[in-house]
Structure 1
Amino acid sequence: MKDRIVVITGAGKGMGPAISTSFAKEGAKLVLLGRDTEALDVLKMAIDEISSALVVKCDVTDPAACAAAVTAAESHFGPVDVLVNVAGGTGPVGATAWETTPEGFDEIIQLNMGGCFLMMRAVLPGMVARRYGKIVNVGGTFGMHGRAGRMAYSASKWGLRGITKSTAIEAGPYNVNVNIVAPGMVDGPRFRTKVMPGMAEARGLTEDEVIAEHAAEYALRRISTAEDVASACLFLASDVSRQITGVDLPVDGGWASL
């Protein structure tokens, strides 16, 4: 990945820092996108010790902001080689389909699906013109396998699979690979503070009991880490995966596809 120009959305939080750092260690030049520039500035300081990074404030649900972010990336570093769409949210947790509000549904669809679409729309013309590009969308295994209490989130990630696969067909003739990494449960602050409390309350269990239940469902009997997801993103963004496009790669210890 040396000297590749890599745009990463949602870089400052959740899995973003681990994914960004993995690319920096391979020599990529990073454009870090997000709404919270304070978190991005902290990440940039760490990345600048091993590579170089540009921070750009961007709301991925805003078409103009996405286009401006790509313009800023190209002005600073040059043409974008890789886009990694990490930005996303959890949506309503523990709510049934009939308890989910239209507003809650629309919000997570716009973020998890619309955000990826708008960023892809911003980078693809350049990639197509140069006949080179790698796009990695971060989805989720609940977009491959239904889950009670996560209907809106599941819908958003299921839809992202369709966006990814259709775009892979369209961009393939121009040497642009478009794939999706589908994490299972990923341990970290969001998992511990946003997902687990809601699931535990809905189920009448402790958070530790819910975590143990999830781990028991996986063949490897363990929850994934952000570094596990980062490795998968790096693989699909590199040229060693040159003949792979339109796939969903579960990173879940063996659940969705087994």
Structure 2
Amino acid sequence: MNLDLKDKVVIVTGAGKGMGPAICQSFAEEGAKLVLIGRDTGALDSLKADLSSLVEALVVRCDVTVPADCEAAVATTEATFGRVDVLVNVAGGTGPVGATAWETSPEGFDEIVQLNMGGCFLMMRAVLPGMTGRRYGKIVNVGGTFGMRGRAGRMAYSASKWGLRGITKSTAIEAGPYNVNVNIVAPGMVDGPRFRTKVMPGMAAARGMTEDEVIAEHAEEYALRRISTAQDVASACLFLASDVSRQITGVDLPVDGGWAAL
């Protein structure tokens, strides 16, 4: 299937880490022009070098929790490429892991909500005037299934992703008359460096299990009995960023092997 993403201008936040590189690689293989956004420009420069044989890419330092940074990143993109066709909000964090609601500090709660919710809001706010003005645009927010079912020990993270669903659905209604699609991809557990080094150690310690035991237990909770990969999430982002999904807006698309459905 031809997704017709060649020469589309795609901003990806959090491009250099986590699921970001796989998502950028997938768009590059489709021929999109990429704007790689994040705080760690070293990681972004390395990713740009990896993609240089496939596509034109621009690196922009941006803290998505700072309104002026978001507005400047979009202005730089428009000055370089003339427009923004697609925004993929990947930037996010895990927040407190293993803490109950009453053990979570107000500071820890505020920090993850501001990053996971506020960062998406600020980037959407920056791109939407251009998208609505041109009557074309695709926004894909990366949420999480813990924002669909909740999870013990992940209250703050769950709250941030649950709130992102509301931001996505409300904005989809507002932007729809301007031919702008706004959707959310909701990964379950995604195997990768952050999962292995940040999430699993805390969960294993809290439960008195080895990390491999915790991973195997998670896999058993999924209908497909396997944990998602970054490429699984990237494929969903490509679909929602393309006109193949032109009649889909305001939806949650779980990419979780069936966990949210069970």
TM-score norm. by structure 1 comes to: 0.99
Alignment RMSD, CA only?
0.4
Equivalence for 2:52: 48
- Of 118, 127, 130, 1:126 maps to 130
> Is 1:77–2:74 an aligned residue pair?
no
Show structure 1 runs of 5+ residues with no match: none
What pairs up with 1:1-258 in 2 under 5 angstroms? Answer: 1-258=5-262
**In 2: Cα distance, 1:167 partner to 1:257 partner:** 25
Show structure 2 runs of 5+ residues with no match: none
**In 2: Cα distance, 1:21 partner to 1:78 partner:** 22
Deviations 1:25-54 (A, max 9, x none): 001000000000000001001111101100
AA aligned to 2:96 is P
AA aligned to 1:106 is D
Name the SS of the counterpart of 1:253 in structure 2: coil
**In 1: Cα distance, 2:252 partner to 2:14 partner:** 20
Deviations 1:118-167 (A, max 9, x none): 00000000000000000000000000011000000000000000000000
Q: What is the identity percentage for the equivalent residue pairs of Structure 1 and Structure 2?
A: 85
Name the SS of the counterpart of 2:161 in structure 1: helix
**In 2: Cα distance, 1:102 partner to 1:200 partner:** 24
**In 2: Cα distance, 1:121 partner to 1:156 partner:** 18
What is the CA distance between 1:169 and its match in structure 2? 0.2
AA aligned to 1:237 is A
AA aligned to 1:13 is K
What is the CA distance between 1:221 and its match in structure 2? 0.3
What is the CA distance between 1:257 and its match in structure 2? 2.1
**In 2: Cα distance, 1:73 partner to 1:203 partner:** 46
Name the SS of the counterpart of 2:149 in structure 1: coil
What is the CA distance between 1:77 and its match in structure 2? 1.2
Name the SS of the counterpart of 1:245 in structure 2: coil
